[in-house]
């Protein structure tokens, strides 16, 4: 699998919720080899903003050579992306990182957990996971997104911090309150959520795969900016550090210290 930098055409741009946008892009080389859980680097056109923005893949259409990203406007760089219109071009690099090992979920009862802007990568993951899927999505408030897409793929439970939709609280509150059972977890979301999910899985001796994020520069494993702490000595770094961009972003929960 070769990483490629290419200039891709924007096919559509749509606002899904407050500050949350969805963009479909046509890519000649990246979509055909991408897998769920991977990400792409997107470059701004503003020369003063040097670093690419790493954004996870929400949907992958291999045959149509299309990728969908659903992203949050977190600053000026992502604000620029949100203003791009269909027909415009954007520079991207990918596919980056390792996806979710889907085979780990085969034949098992899988819990797919997404929190906030960690929800989008779970969509393609859910689509490609075979078998029994329960999807638990956590939002801050009624500004939800991707609900219909997930409902087409499995049983969906929703938690909102303000209780406006579904269970009041976080994804773990939803799991406990709805008595959701599973054998393995695939999760992406903010660190406090992942910490809770890791603890929950450990208590029940469940397999647990977590997708992490951190500030990145290169996105390919060279600059050592985006490390997370690992439980043991990592074979590449020779210290208790793993590169999220290259060794991750998906790790077994027991491999990493959150």
Partner 1 sequence: MINMKVNLAGVELKNPVMEASGTFGSGAEYSEFVDLNQLGAVVTKGVASIPWPGNPTPRITETWGGMLNAIGLQNPGIDVFVKRDIPFLKQFDTKIIVNVCGRTEEDYIQVVERLGDEPVDLLEINISCPNVKEGGIAFGQDPKAVEAITRACKSHAKQPIIMKLSPNVTDITVMAKAAEAGGADVISLINTITGMKIDVDRRTFALANKTGGLSGPAIKPVAVRMVYQVAQAVRLPIIGMGGIQSSEDALEFILAGASAVAVGTANFYNPYATTEVVKGIFQYMEKNQMEDIGSLVGAVR
Chain residues binding partner 1 by CB under 8 A are 2-3, 5, 43, 47-52, 93, 214-218, 220-228, 236-241, 246
96/184 with CB nearer partner 1 = 96
Kind plus residue range of the DSSP H or E element containing 91: strand 89-96
What one-character DSSP code corresponds to residue 178?
T
Pairing of strands 59-61, 53-56: unpaired
Taking the C-alpha atoms of residue 146 and residue 59, their distance in angstroms, rounded to an integer, is: 11
51/89 with CB nearer partner 1 = 51
CB 28, min distance to partner 1, A: 16
Per the document, the length of the chain is 258
Grouping H, G, I as helix, E, B as strand and the rest as coil, residue 80 is: helix
24/81 with CB nearer partner 1 = 81
State the Rg of the chain over Cα.
18
Q: What are residue 243's DSSP bridge partners?
A: 227
Kind plus residue range of the DSSP H or E element containing 184: strand 184-188
CB 77, min distance to partner 1, A: 8
Pairing of strands 89-96, 4-17: antiparallel
CB 258, min distance to partner 1, A: 12
104/214 with CB nearer partner 1 = 214
**Is residue 78 a contact partner of residue 53, using CB atoms and an 8 Å limit?**
yes
CB 107, min distance to partner 1, A: 35
What one-character DSSP code corresponds to residue 142?
S
Pairing of strands 184-188, 110-115: parallel
What one-character DSSP code corresponds to residue 98?
B
214/254 with CB nearer partner 1 = 214
50/203 with CB nearer partner 1 = 50
**Is residue 39 a contact partner of residue 96, using CB atoms and an 8 Å limit?**
yes
CB 223, min distance to partner 1, A: 6
Cα 189 to chain centroid distance, Å, stands at 8
CB 30, min distance to partner 1, A: 14
88/257 with CB nearer partner 1 = 257
CB 114, min distance to partner 1, A: 23
């Amino acid at each position: 699998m070769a990483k490629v930098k290419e200039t891709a055409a924007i096919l559509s741009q749509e606002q899904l919720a407050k500050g949350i946008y969805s963009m479909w892009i046509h890519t000649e080389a990246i979509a055909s080899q991408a897998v769920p859980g991977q990400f792409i680097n997107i470059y701004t056109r503003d020369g003063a903003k040097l670093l690419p923005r790493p954004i996870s893949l929400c949907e992958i259409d291999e045959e149509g050579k299309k990728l969908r990203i659903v992203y949050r406007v977190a600053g000026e760089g992502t604000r620029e992306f949100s203003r791009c219109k269909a027909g415009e071009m954007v520079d991207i690099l990918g596919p980056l990182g390792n996806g979710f090992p889907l085979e780990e979920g085969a034949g098992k009862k899988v819990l797919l957990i997404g929190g906030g802007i960690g929800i989008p990568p779970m969509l393609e993951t859910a689509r490609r996971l075979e078998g029994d899927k329960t999807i638990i999505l956590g939002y801050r408030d009624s500004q939800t997104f991707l609900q219909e897409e997930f409902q087409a793929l499995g049983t969906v439970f929703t938690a909102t911090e303000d209780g406006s939709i579904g269970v009041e609280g976080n994804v773990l509150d939803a799991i406990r309150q709805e008595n959701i059972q599973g054998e393995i977890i695939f999760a992406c979301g903010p660190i406090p959520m992942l910490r809770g999910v890791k603890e929950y899985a450990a208590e029940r001796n469940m397999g647990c795969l977590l997708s992490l994020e951190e500030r990145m520069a290169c996105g390919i494993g060279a600059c050592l900016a985006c490390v997370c702490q690992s439980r043991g000595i990592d074979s590449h770094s020779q210290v208790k550090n793993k590169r999220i961009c290259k060794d991750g972003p998906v790790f077994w929960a027991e491999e990493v210290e959150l």
